[in-house]
Structure 1
């Protein structure tokens, strides 16, 4: 009888623990549930099936656990190399948040303040002139800058650096200076930018441009260490991001995704590797902060998870929690009403190298997302975001030009969060 009672007691205890575990699981509400995984698979597969992308992959962590990975199509369609978890892609402007992280390690050390004039550390940017148009002879009309460019300006794209090919007079000067030539060092780049007039007064408007390249230069200037070495030592190595780099050695090029140009529905043309990969197949003097790195899904996810974990991962702290919060807070005042194409990203402001969602979407046509998320993307249509509210981080890899002309980012977000429902978007 005693053995019978003991046996039943063990069974009852086991059943209680099982029920308790199930209850706990139900209490943990997941964004990425079975329905979301199905939406994600069908959304990404459809882009490959339609011929609008050659290959695509995505990785999502929620509450510090991997909840989704899949890859569809080809990294190299012509040679039938599948898109995979270890595929290497060019992340283009997703380099920028990594640069911002490197810069803010110096801020934490008290090496500068955000509202310091840039010229305090970089006299190349002293006494800047500001473009006011051209006169009847086509000569530029210039005035003195109202105030110096601040470091905060170069972290939020309000410095005034020109970045368009159609500004009469000024665009010609930009082309002649060619500040972003791969043959320039960061110092030479800064000298050329500093001798080029600003397009608008510092702080007057938001305009994407070369600001983050200047951040890399500033890191180099303040630290006294070449930028590529500094970011390796302070960010990439501590995070174990061995697959994130400027130069790609021969042994790893078989995993390097090809780049494709889309000219119409289902019409993809491979961009020759000699063009698409010219930066990463060679060692160049320029080590830009705004573009240039290659990475893998897992490498970039490590970086994103560090951010959602407020600066620490795997026992390694890269930034303090207060610093991550500062970076993920919009620094754009309401007075900055001219924001170029930034509103196309959703109802966002801009922090330190991230767009920051300030308001929920108001309708299904708007970009989906959660207030408080911060994110950025890349020229080849890559995307990542950090959603602190749901402890969710997502990385989407593809190599598609021109930048997301197929609604990929919106549909991917809709697949993650579900379609917009009024009064529940936040």
Structure 2
């Protein structure tokens, strides 16, 4: 199938409407089919205060779009025979050795029972029993109280992981799906197994070979002037989704480019720490689409982009936030997998592999239509507006 250029042009008007309504300060979208760019557009501002435009080389926080990269790193190490996915996390991080989890219906953090340590596969699929502070529940509240979020300014990955291990799990590993800091913990596993910092492993094994030279945990030297501001439409924290209250103005800056902790990140957050450009991220999605680019086996990628849950995400009873719909959507290793487009209620191909980030960035790889699509903006939380299903509908509607 090919694209109708006139229909593709609708995307620009849609993007402009988001900027005109002060939903996004600025945004960009890049579409490639069979490795050839078929559409790019950028509009609005990367920094409202200075009036700097949102451009193709804008450096943005990709947050949870870091997760697929960390998941690829784990599978690269698994390919080398260094571990198997059913290995318990405690083999790599001893602090997870004597695990406890909350009893069903627990109302306080001390209502626990003994449980197994989660496996690497549990972590990769968000069935580990870990959580995020912005989810509902007892464990998320404890994580919030202990300030466990793996932010750029929160010190070393090793220390934060050990702090997390002191808390119980939210449930028995494997029994539920809950979006979590699991991939941050896997970032620490990469460090333990490889003997390198997570960033150095990324540079040596993934970012460097793919030419993703402007994607790092800290804003790369020479790109600071291109780093975008981060905005929220909420009155309080951009991540306090349990107590989300709209505010005026709808674009309130919560991380200024010149003062951001991402200028010199202490934490290497494998779950949400990278910043980079849209062209850099397309190189990663194209690696997924084309079968590994020599970095990882095509068979391993095929394994990663299959559904690893018994059914869809919704069937595992999640109460958590997620970067994607849950009905009709399975989960692979590092991203969501479309099982039934009708249940997802968004035009899709069976097998679409995708994920997004807290600042409303998004990507998907469509193996049926041979597509890679990357969307960049800087608005948190990503649940603020339905931009992702709208964009996907626009792109499918442009195909003939």
Q: What are the residue-to-residue correspondences of 1:300-311 with 2, within 5 Å?
A: 300-311=281-292
Quote the offset at 1:275 in angstroms: 8.6
**What is aligned with 1:353?**
334
Q: How far did 1:334 drift?
A: 3.5
Q: Does the CA-based 8 Å contact 1:132-1:140 persist in structure 2? A: no
Does residue 373 in structure 1 map to residue 352 in structure 2?
yes
Q: 1:157 aligns with which of 110, 122, 126?
A: 126
The structure-2 alpha-carbon separation of the partners of 1:409 and 1:283, relative to structure 1 and needing over 3 Å to count, comes to: closer
Q: Structure 1 119/168 Cα, relative in aligned 2: closer, same or farther at 3 Å?
A: closer
- Distance in 1 of aligned mates of 2:99 and 2:371: 42
2:86 and 2:121 in contact (8 A); partners too: yes
Q: Which residue of 1 aligns with 2:33?
A: 62
Closer, same or farther in 2 for the Cα pair 1:410/1:345, shift >3 Å?
A: farther
Equivalent residue for 2:237? none
Aligned residue pair count: 383
1:295 aligns with: 276
Paired residue secondary structure (2:261): coil
CA contact (8 A) 1:52 1:265 kept: no
Distance in structure 2 (CA, Å) of the matches to 1:74 and 1:373? 30
Match 1:105 to one of 76, 79, 82: 76
Q: For 1:72-221, list aligned pairs within 5 A.
A: 72-132=43-103, 140-145=110-115, 147-164=116-133, 167-168=137-138, 171-172=141-142, 175-176=145-146, 178=148, 180=150, 182-221=153-192
Call closer, same or farther: CA 1:67–1:383 in 2, change over 3 Å.
same
Counterpart contact for 1:121–1:218, Cα < 8 Å: yes
SS, match of residue 53 in structure 1: coil
Work out the CA distance in 1 between the residues paired with 2:182 and 2:258. Answer: 23
Question: What is the deviation of 1:345?
Answer: 5.2
Task: Give the Cα–Cα distance (whole angstroms) in 2 for the partners of residues 260 and 111 of structure 1.
Answer: 41
Check if 1:332 corresponds to 2:309: yes
The question of whether the paired residues in 1 share the 8 Å contact of 2:214 and 2:280 is answered with yes
Q: Name the SS for the 2:233 alignment partner.
A: strand
CA RMSD of superposed structures (Å): 2.6
Look at both structures and tell me which one has the larger radius of gyration over its CA atoms: 1
Report deviation, 1:33.
Answer: 2.2
Partner deviation per Cα, 1:390-412 (whole Å, 9 max, x = no partner): 11000001111232422111111
The whole-number CA distance in structure 2 between the counterparts of 1:85 and 1:304 is 17
Q: Describe how 1:367-406 pairs up with structure 2 within 5 A.
A: 367-406=346-385
Partner of 2:213: 242
Of 161, 172, 194, the match for 1:223: 194
In structure 1, distance between residues paired with 2:30 and 2:257: 28
Query: What is the alpha-carbon distance in structure 1 between the residues aligned to residue 309 and residue 378 of structure 2?
Result: 30
Tell me if structure 2 keeps the 8 A contact 1:311–1:321. Answer: yes
Distance 1:214 1:272, change over 3 A: closer
TM-superposed CA distance for 1:121, in Å, is: 2.4
**CA shift for structure 1 position 358:** 0.9
Aligned partners of 2:144, 2:248: CA distance in 1, in Å?
A: 36
Choose 47-56 or 169-178, whichever is displaced more. Answer: 169-178
1:139 Cα deviation from its structure 2 partner: 6.6
Match of 1:318 among 278, 292, 295: 295
Unaligned runs of 5+ in 2: 235-245
**Structure 1 unaligned runs (5+)?**
1-28
Q: 1:272: Cα distance to partner?
A: 4.6
CA displacement 1:235-262 (0-9 Å, x = unmatched): 0000010010111256322111111222
Query: Is 1:368–1:417's contact at 8 Å kept on the other side of the alignment?
Result: yes
Alpha-carbon distance between aligned partners in 1 of 2:259 and 2:370, rounded to the nearest angstrom? 35
